[in-house]
Amino acid sequence: VIFAHHVAKGAGKDGSDLSGRGASAIGDGCRFVLSLNDIDPKDLKTYGIPYEDRYRFVCMRTPKFNYVPRSGKDVFFRRGEGGILEPFQIDAGIRTRQAEKLVGIMVEEGKPATQRDLLKGSAWKAARQEMKEEFPTLPLRADLPLILTCAVENGLLERKESTEKNLNGLPTYVYRFPGATADTADKRRTNDGQDTLSAVEPDFLNQPGEPISTADTADNAIKAGRSRRTNGGKKTLSALKQAPEAKTERRTISGGQTALSGSSVSALKPASRKGL
């Protein structure tokens, strides 16, 4: 027996097997329940539907289904001429919009990333939150590979295999937007899943007021926690360690001038004993 039942006045139970008015025994005694409701407001933003068109769409859900497993996916209809409901693929083009949004965030950040960086990297936490706000129902962990593939296929991103493997020995791919320059700091993944830098930017090594010997290696020249502001107002790490402070001493050379000796300079011409 298939019957239609009117819904309760409140919309708080939309999509539930208890949305029908009256005792819950009606829903309990049915083998399956279908519900027709207006589209959820959060789906308007997710699928890019204008707010003024919200009543043109109807969502059908299956809150109860005993015969077969529930599909877990809502079915949408659009009101056609005369109010006739027509099947409508509401998520058509959604993947492209998600890819465009992600690429826009990467352009603002001004740096490439791996899939693991986007999912777990602390530097991309704000990006994940922005994607969640734009697409509230997006399962990012499951759909990110599809979004990245869509971006590559549409020419929005370039994918390049990294020289290093992940923890499972599989290839790691770096995604960057076209025209982006290669990182001067080669990102490397450690066993604990944290990002480290194997090199630092040359301009950082030669910043005024921070003399570093040419003999010092890049690894010794990185300082933990050093950060700088990007154009977007967000912080990015430029280095992780810095060379230990050089032990210096002053000595007077001819002419009454002073100079520093020690590891902060790469070479110093010896002064004659007469000038000391």
Q: Supply the pTM of this predicted model.
A: 0.42
DSSP state at residue 112: -
**C-alpha–C-alpha distance, residues 169 and 188, integer Å:** 14
Give yes or no: residues 180 and 107 share one domain: yes
Instruction: Give the CATH number for residue 98.
Output: 1.10.10
| Other C-beta atoms lying within 10 Å of the C-beta of residue 46 | 18
Give yes or no: residues 104 and 172 share one domain: yes
Dump pLDDT digits (tens) for 105-119. 999 888 889 998 999
Task: Please give the residue range of the domain that contains residue 64.
Answer: 1-91
Phi, then psi, of 129 in degrees rounded to 5: -65, -40
Give yes or no: residues 60 and 33 share one domain: yes
Dump pLDDT digits (tens) for 217-267. 333 333 323 333 344 444 443 333 444 444 444 444 444 444 444 444 344
Give yes or no: residues 215 and 254 share one domain: no
Helix (H) or strand (E) holding 167: none
Instruction: Give residues with Cβ within 8 angstroms of 145, minimum separation 6.
Output: 115
Q: What percent of the chain has pLDDT over 70?
A: 56
Phi, then psi, of 138 in degrees rounded to 5: -75, 120
Give yes or no: residues 58 and 126 share one domain: no
Give yes or no: residues 117 and 129 share one domain: yes
Domain count, the chain: 4
Give yes or no: residues 9 and 41 share one domain: yes
CB–CB of 250/258 below 8 Å? yes
Give the tokens for residue 180.
């982006």
What pLDDT score does 16 carry?
67
In this structure, the chain runs to a length of 276
- Of 45, 72, 91, which residue sits at a domain end? 91
